[in-house]
Structure 1
C-alpha cells in the first residue's frame, strides 16, 4: 500500500508499478492519497490513469491495510497512526529526501539548499508511530550538491535515487529489515514547512551566498522581496555570488550601508550591498504588478526618478537608491 502525493513520491510509485507489471517483487499495489484540495495530486492522477485501487485519507476502518504485506510512504504529510503501522505484517517504509538524522521534517531539500549543504541524499527508514522521521535506517545513499542547483532540480534527482534505492530494498526485504540500524542521536536538524516570511530579505542580516542560496531553495515557492521607497520589489533572478571587483562604480558613493544599490550598466545587473561588505547581483525585478524589468529598465524608470526627488529635497538624500 503506497501513501504519497507529489512528484518526489511519484517516482517511487512508478517503480513499484513497474515491478508489479513485471511480476517481480510486487503482486498487488494500492494507493492512499489525501482528499483533493481542490485538485487530485500527482500520485492520485497516476493511480487513476493506471487503474490502481485508490483510497482517500483518512482510511475508513474497513479499508485499513487492505490485506497488504507492507506500506510505503513518500511525501505524504500525515502522521500514520500505530494501528495502521502495526497492521502491516512487515511494517512500513518511508523514502525521505535527506541523510537522516539531518533535516527531519517536511522540507529537507529546501533546507539543505538554503543552508548551503555540500551533500545530501535519500534514506529508506522504518516508520515509527507518533513522530516523523525518527525510525530505524534501512538504507541510505548520498550525493554532492551542486552549488548552483535549485531545490526543484535537486528534488527530481533525489526522487529517482529514492525510487531505485526502494526497489533494491524490496528485492531482498527481509535481509534489509533484519539489518536496519537506529538513527544516530547526534547531528539532528529539523526541516519544517517553509514560511513565506522567508521571502523578505534582511540586507543587514544575510550575506551574498545566503541570499543566493535562499533564492535557489525557494524560487519555486515565492519570489524574494524587498522594498523600494515603500513599494514592494520582487527579485526574479539572483546571480551567483561574485568576487569580481567593481571599485570604480563605488568611487563617488559615500553611503554604502546594507541595502544600497549600484547599477552595472555594462552587465545589466543591480548590485545590492548586504552583510559582510558583500554585494549580491540581481538581474530581473518586479515592482508592484508591473511586468518583469531588467536592471537597466529599473534603473532608468525608478532609480533616476528617485535621485531627482532626492536632489530636489522631496525625499531624504540618504535614501535615494536604497532597498529596505
Structure 2
C-alpha cells in the first residue's frame, strides 16, 4: 500500500478522532478572519435527516448569552456517536431554530482536499520514525492498536507522534460503533444548510493542526503515550462521557475535560483547551457587539472543567446563563 493511500485513510480517520483536541479535529474549514465573518455557500443537503431521538429529562446542557440586541446560545457537542443515541431536546431545537447563524469549531467536517496537504506538511517525519520515539513495550502496544485504525505499525511509523496519537485514538471508538457521520455537528450542519442558515467557523484547518504540530517533542510523546495507555478503555470511557453529557451531569463533563487536557499535561491543556477557548471568547465578544441570534456548537470539553469559554466570558463581565 503506497503512502498516498495510507494518508487517504488517515485523513478519513482524522475527521473522526476522539477526546480533547482530537474530538475538536472533527471539522476543518476556515471562515473567520480579522474582524469580518466570512460565509459558506448555502446549499440544500442531498437527503433530509431523520429526527434525533429525544433524551430523557432535559438532555445535554445549553447556555445562553443575551444583551439588548443579541442572543448567543452555547452548546457542547460530542463529535462521534453510536446509532440511535438519544440526545435530542426541545430546548436545543428551539434555540437552534431561532438562530440565523450557526458557529462550529470549523465549517466543513469532511473536506479531505483541505486536510491532505496539511497532514503531508505537519504529520510526517520519515527521517525520524515513530519507532525511535517509543520503548519496546510501547511499540508492542502500537502494533496492536494500529490495525484498528486501518494501518500497520510499519505504515504508521513515518507519522509524527501527535498524528499517530490521533490515529490510535480512533480505532477502538469506531470498532465500538461510534460514527463521525452521526456526530452532533454533522447533524446540525445538515440542518443548518437545509434551513438556509449561515455557517461560520472559529478556526482554520491550519490553526487546528498547527497547534498539535507545534507541540514540544516531550509534549508529543506524552500525548501519544496517553492514547497508547488508554487504548483498551477508550470506548468505555467515551460511553461514560456520552452518558454524562446526555444526563446533563456537570461533574462527569468536568472530569472528561480534565482527563483529556490537564491530566495528560499542562501543555496539552494550554494548547487544546485554554488558548483556543480564549480565542473563541474574543470572537464571541465581537459577535455580541453586533445583533441577531447565533447558535454555537463546539466540543463539550470547551464548556466543562477549567478555563471554559463561559468562565472566560464571565471574567469579562459577560453573563452566561445555563438553560
- TM-score class, shorter-chain normalisation, is under 0.3
Q: Which structure has greater helix proportion?
A: 2
Which structure's CA Rg is the greater one? 1
The structure whose residues are more often strand, as a share, is: 1
The TM-score normalised by the length of structure 1 is 0.23
> Which structure would you say has the larger RCO, counting Cα contacts within 8 Å and 6 or more residues apart?
2
TM-score (ref. length: structure 2): 0.23
